[in-house]
Structure 1
Amino acid sequence: MSEGGDARLLRSETGLQRATFLELSLDLVLVFALTRISARLITDFTGGQRGVLAGLGQALLLFLALWAVWSLTVWSTSWLNPEAPIVQTVIIMTLTGAMVMAVAVPDGFGARASLFAVTYVTLQIGRVVYFHIAGHGQPDQRQTVRVLIWLGSSAPLWIVGGLVEEGVVRGSLWTAAVLVDYVGLFLGWPTPRLGAQPIGGQAIGAEHLAERYQQFLLIALGEAIFVIGLAFSGSEFHPAQIGGFALALATTVLLWRIYFHLAGGVLGTAISRSRNASRLATDMAFAHLVMIAGIVLTGVGFELFITEPLENLAPPWLIAVLGGPALFLAGRSALEFQAFGRVSRSRAAGLLALGLLAPATLHLPPIATGAAAAVVLRGVAGADTRRSHRQPAEQPAPPV
């Protein structure tokens, strides 16, 4: 490829930083995938054959695979020009593969396990190979080798795990595969003689990458709203169910408020001010992963206190009703540290309060437990508001 072709392939500093419509179309596929994961979890929490803990573990592995597909795409389009035909083709490949994986999710540990695994491996390796061939090895042939070595290492684990009949063996193999994929991503795919290098390095488009994280967080909130609407529309509209519906909506608004005040709204500035943009961006990816998992789990809790607001609360449901918000706050605390180099006391207090609520709410109806969790989130949001009134807006000061 000529130097001019390379320049068109790479994202320019003066080019459009907003996500393209094609990128947003990929997000719609992830919305569908999150609804399938939520549906799995709701079935598991309401007495499904898998059981709660097994169901949580399986859903987590499926979610992590989908997140790996999405995050690698986002990193690539924050480094490369998303309007380039080669990059658009890769996005279309990703959209198609992610849709197949999402369709396989409901039975992703059963009859469709091989479909899920083969699609994941084919997509992850196939798009890297396509980009390398179509781009004539540009702009960084060594990066292609690094990524392919790591993806090739996890591929047999995914494929064999999808073919075996024993669920425990499949879970063990896929857990190992996920660890290989995420360690590679986190460390920049270190390879003998070639070293390590995150995608794009310091050339990452900070504004674009930050926007994509924010958009996916909103996607997760949208999926929670979908769960709320589906659960309430199928209810009998009893007063307690109406209360559960209102409580779920209020909790969703609180999650939105806590995320965007303040760290969630200044991601682009934080990345651009970082001394090591690729390192900070990687850390933020993992923080968002935790928050989104928390939102999905919180949405599962919404299903309970909308449909059965006054029933006896089975202990495993506390994992969703209290554990979901706790997971979100943990990820949000990590994001705050990444953006400002410190964590607000209200975040730690919120996590502690949610932990203490677990034994205290064990015998309360679901709607009461959900209300207690919402009160904690309201306290965290209120502390943010008071702090913003007492002092000027804080500027990002990332620790890396």
Structure 2
Amino acid sequence: MTTNRAVGLARKGEGPQRATLLELLLDLVFVAALALTSPTLARNLDWGGIFQTLVLLMAIWWVWSVTALATDLYHPQRPPIFLMTLWVMLGTILMAAALPAAFSDHAMVFVGAYVAIHVGRGVFLASALHGRMAQLHAMRFIFWFVVSAVPWLTGGLVEGTARGLLWSAALAIDYGTAWRRYPTPRLGRVPTSQYEVAADHLAERYQQFFTLALGDLILVTTLIYADNEFTAGRTGALLVAVATTVLLWQIYVHRAGALLQAAIESSHDPGRFVRSAPYTHLLMVAGVVAAAAGFEIVIAHPTEDTTPGLVGVVLGGPALFLAGRARFEYEVFSRVSPSRLVGLLVLAVAAPAMVLVPPLVVAVVGTLVLAGIAVADAVRAHGGPPEPPSPAL
């Protein structure tokens, strides 16, 4: 009977493969989280602010990616998984609300919600999945998230550099143990067979989240434009932001993004592909968040002085995206288009001189680099048959 209960929760080939409305509702909470992350970065464009924003973004991203995998393995329509998803939603709302002051007054709210989400998710799964193998899977999650809870919660109680170091250590545990398949004393690692997923569902979920990140870029730029006097410079900056959004989307979906499902299905080790996807997409999402922070400043002050920090997010955002996209392309096709590497090189070479020009010009440079890559993609694809995936994993 317990085995039947576990099987009844698990997705199989005959189960629903598209994202459910509940999952899309959950995503709306992450829209709020991203919408608070990029302005937080825009207000703290120094090394400390960049580091803190990265830590917060990685925490938010890990909540989503682990939940996406859970709802890929198990039906969200089943009552235990439905309740688990609502639990994650509530915790993420608290994390998002605490995010702007997570390194000051609201540290314990942020980390308390984060720890409760992950440990609570494991408890939901362990209590619902009574089949031995599935339950052991959940127990490994619980063990490692309890371990990482120590530096998370300790970091919430201290201040300054110690908090950042402890939270970085906690993230290293969370990300590192996931990549290593949660090696747990006496239980061992999660078997690779338990990473069998509905490829179309998981591919769709990552595509949806990247689209949500682009939605944050549109939302932030529109709001900052509406909050300021409409001038030619600000209107030009808004148009550049829209062009950047479209180009990021086009470069993402070009072949590799559109073939993620086929790549997972044709991989000789789908489990490794599934474990790699969160890290690859984190780079691309971080790039979009950085670009959104940059455009918030560019639109508000298109012709004022340019600081090194502003250059870092306006050009660093596209650079992070291209780095993630290059890795993504390698995972799908076992090769990287030269245009990605050329684009990264151009951004790196141009960056030092950008402090001499207005912010709007810096944004235009980043957009032109992305446009060049999109054109190179179109030329390379023109007239040839669609390239089938050849996964490196």
Q: TM-score, normalised on structure 1? A: 0.95
Which SS does the other structure have where 2:355 is aligned? coil
Shift of 1:324: 0.5
Give the match for residue 125 of structure 2: 131
Give the match for residue 49 of structure 1: none
Give the percent of matched residue pairs that are identical in Structure 1 and Structure 2: 42
In the alignment, structure 1 residue 292 sits paired with structure 2 residue 292: no
Counterpart residue type for residue 301 of structure 2: E
Shift of 1:391: 1.8
Shift of 1:131: 2.1
Shift of 1:7: 2.5
Counterpart residue type for residue 334 of structure 1: R
2:136 corresponds to which of 132, 142, 166: 142
Shift of 1:3: 3.8
Alpha-carbon distance in 2 for matches of 1:312, 1:265:
40
2:57 corresponds to which of 56, 63, 70: 63
Deviation track 1:37-86 (CA, whole Å, cap 9, x = no partner) reads 112111113xxxxxx11111111111111111111111111111222111
Is this contact kept in 2: 1:75–1:199, CA < 8 A?
A: no
Deviation track 1:271-312 (CA, whole Å, cap 9, x = no partner) reads 011111110122121110000000000011111221111111
1:206 corresponds to which of 176, 179, 199: 199
Shift of 1:192: 3.4
Alpha-carbon distance in 1 for matches of 2:254, 2:333:
12
Alpha-carbon distance in 2 for matches of 1:199, 1:211:
22
Q: Could you tell which deviates more after superposition, 128-137 or 207-216? A: 128-137
In the alignment, structure 1 residue 280 sits paired with structure 2 residue 273: yes
Summarize the Cα distance change of 1:10–1:246 in structure 2 as closer, same or farther, 3 Å threshold: same
Give the match for residue 106 of structure 1: 100
Which aligned pairs between 1:197-236 and structure 2 lie closer than 5 A? 197=190, 201-236=194-229
Summarize the Cα distance change of 1:319–1:302 in structure 2 as closer, same or farther, 3 Å threshold: same
Counterpart residue type for residue 145 of structure 1: M
Alpha-carbon distance in 1 for matches of 2:227, 2:108:
34
- The size of the alignment, in residue pairs, is 393
Q: TM-score, normalised on structure 2? A: 0.97
Q: Could you tell which deviates more after superposition, 64-73 or 250-259? A: 64-73
1:173 corresponds to which of 160, 163, 166: 166
Alpha-carbon distance in 2 for matches of 1:188, 1:90:
22
Q: CA RMSD in A?
A: 1.4
Alpha-carbon distance in 1 for matches of 2:39, 2:253:
27
Is this contact kept in 2: 1:79–1:200, CA < 8 A?
A: no
Shift of 1:200: 6.4
Which SS does the other structure have where 2:382 is aligned? helix
Give the match for residue 48 of structure 1: none
Which SS does the other structure have where 2:147 is aligned? helix
2:366 corresponds to which of 373, 377, 382: 373
Give the match for residue 39 of structure 1: 39
Alpha-carbon distance in 2 for matches of 1:341, 1:155:
37
Shift of 1:145: 2.4
Is this contact kept in 1: 2:140–2:184, CA < 8 A?
A: yes
Counterpart residue type for residue 80 of structure 1: Y
Deviation track 1:133-175 (CA, whole Å, cap 9, x = no partner) reads 23335551221222222112111111111112x2211111111
Which SS does the other structure have where 2:335 is aligned? coil
Query: Where does structure 2 lack aligned partners over 5 or more consecutive residues?
Result: none
Which SS does the other structure have where 1:14 is aligned? coil
Give the match for residue 90 of structure 1: 84
Is this contact kept in 1: 2:6–2:131, CA < 8 A?
A: no
Alpha-carbon distance in 2 for matches of 1:352, 1:331:
15
Alpha-carbon distance in 2 for matches of 1:343, 1:195:
35
